[in-house]
Chains A and B, each alone.
Chain A
C-alpha cells in the first residue's frame, strides 16, 4: 500500500478492523460466557491471609482470581501534626498501584479517588472514638489488577484492621456488580468491566445489615436496582463468612 510518487494522495485508512475486536455481545444476547467460565451470579473464590507484613501493626493479603492486594495498617499512633484535641481518632487511607499491576504498564490512574472511597467505606465501621488523639494509617497496594479492584481492597483492609486489633462494629465486605446489556454479572473481571453498561459497588457490614458505601454508574430502572442490591447483599454475606473463617484460623494459630 505504498503511495506511488506523483499520484493523487491515497487516503491511507488503516485496517482498524483487525485491531479492535467486535463487541463481544450484542443486546439481548444471553449467550455471553464469562471468560473464566463462572455463572453470572457467581463470585470468584476468595483467598485471604492475615499477617502478610511483619513490620505493620496488622496486615492482610487477598487474592480473588487474578486480583491481588496487600494492605498494611499502622497504628493507632500519635497524630504527628499539631492538631486540635479531637474526641475521635483519625483514619488515613492510601491506595496505590504497583507499576506491574496492570497489563499496560503504568496505568492505574483511578487510584487517586480510591483512597477517599476506601476511607468512606471504612469510617462507618471503625469505632473512631476508641482512639482519640491518634491516627490509624491504612496503606493498600494493588499487586495485580484483575477487575473489581476496589471491593477487594476494601475487604482486605477491614481484615487488616481486625488483625491490628482496632475496634470495629463489624467487618466490611464489598462486592461489585456489572450490567452488561440485560445481564447482571457479579464480581466482574477486567474485560467485563471495560464493556459494562453500568456498575454498582456496595460495601456493607454483614452482621449488622448496614450499608457503609454505595455507588451506581449508568442507567438503572428500579427493579434492576432492587435485584442488584439483593445480589450484592447476599454475596457480601458469603464473603463475610469467608473472612471470619480466615480470622478464626489466624486466631487459633497464634494462641499459645
Chain B
C-alpha cells in the first residue's frame, strides 16, 4: 500500500490500521526473514553448489542482493524477487498494450516494460482467415488494422536477442479493444493464473487482466476477427457523425463498467492482488452497502474493503487448518 492518499478520519484510520495489521500477521511470517535490501548478504550454504540468479551478485565470495525484495530459492537457483520492479515478461503471458508506432511490417506497443514490444504483421491473423504470405498491399493497409494509440491485447511470443519482446495475436480473442476503458495498476498485483480473459455474464462485460498491469474493462465483444470488425467500421465512419451517438454504450452497462473500474482502482490503491473473484466481491460489497459509484473512491469504502479482505483471509486461514 503505497502512501494511501486519502483523507481519513480518526476512526477510519484506526479501522484501516487494524485491518492491515491483521492481514500482515496472516501473510506468511517466514517471508520476513527472506526479505533483503540492496547489498544485504544472502544466507546460503556455501558448500552446496548454487546458481546465482537475477538480483544477486558476488562480493568477496559472499552473495549479496542488488535489489530490495524477497529471496526465492528453487532447487539450486537463488534469486531475489523485487517487490516493486517493472513487469517481468514470461513467454505465454497475456498482455495489453498501446500502439506507439506503426512501421514497416510491424507495430510497436508500449506495455509498461523497459522497452517497447513488437507485434509483427505476420503474427496477426488476416481477415479472410487464410494463412497466406503478406503482400505489399497488406503492408500499406497496416493503419487500417491498428493505428497509433489503439489498445491491443496480445500474447508474449518470445524474447529477442536485445531483450525486447515479440508478441503474437493469432487467436480470435486477441486484437483491438474498443468500447471500454484501460486502467493502469502496478504489474506485481496481477498474478499469473489460468484465466486472464473474464467474461462477466451478469454484467455483459469483458474483463482482461494483462500481466503487465494494464487492465481492460469494456463491453463484451463476441470473439470475432478484428479485421472483419474494422472493415465494417470503416464503412460506418463514412456515415454522418451524429449517427455515431447511437452506438454509445447504454447507461446501465456503463454503470457496471464504472463500478468494476472503481473496484479495481480501490484494490490497487490498497495494494491487494487483483483477480476476478476479488473484483466481483468488491462490486457486490458496493451494491450491498448501496454506495454511489463515485463514492467508491472515498475513504469509507477503502476501509470497508480492507476490513472485508482481512475477514476473508482469516476465514481462509481457519478453513485450511
Contact = CB atoms under 8 A, between A and B. Distances in A.
Interface in A44-95: 51-52, 54, 57-58, 75-78, 85
B84 A163 contact: yes
A40 B23 CA distance: 45
A229 interface: no
Given A165-B86, A208-B59, A251 B35 contact: yes
Contacts of B82: 165
A165 B85 contact: yes
Given A132-B162, A248-B35, 6 more contacts: A162-B68, A165-B67, A168-B66, A169-B66, A247-B38, A254-B271
6 contacts: A76-B114, A164-B85, A166-B67, A169-B66, A251-B37, A253-B1
Contacts of B64: 207
Given A165-B85, A169-B66, A134 B115 contact: yes
A211 interface: no
A187 interface: no
A166 B86 CA distance: 9
Given A51-B2, A75-B114, A131-B114, A165 B37 contact: no
Contacts of B9: none
B27 A254 contact: no
B83 A255 contact: yes
B24 A255 contact: yes
A242 B51 CA distance: 31
B271 A170 contact: no
Nearest to A250: B68
A254 B114 contact: no
B57 interface: yes
A244 B32 CA distance: 14
B38 A171 contact: yes
A205 interface: yes
> Size class of B's contact patch?
35 or more
A78 B116 CA distance: 7
B39 A208 contact: yes
A77 B68 contact: no
B45 interface: no
B55 interface: yes
B31 interface: yes
A256 interface: yes
Interface in B1-43: 1-3, 5, 23-24, 27, 31-32, 35, 37-40
A231 interface: no
Given A75-B114, A162-B68, A256 B38 contact: no
Contact of A162 (B2, B23, B35, B67): B67
Nearest to B162: A133
Contacts of A253: 1, 24
A221 interface: no
B163 interface: yes
Interface in A144-169: 162-169
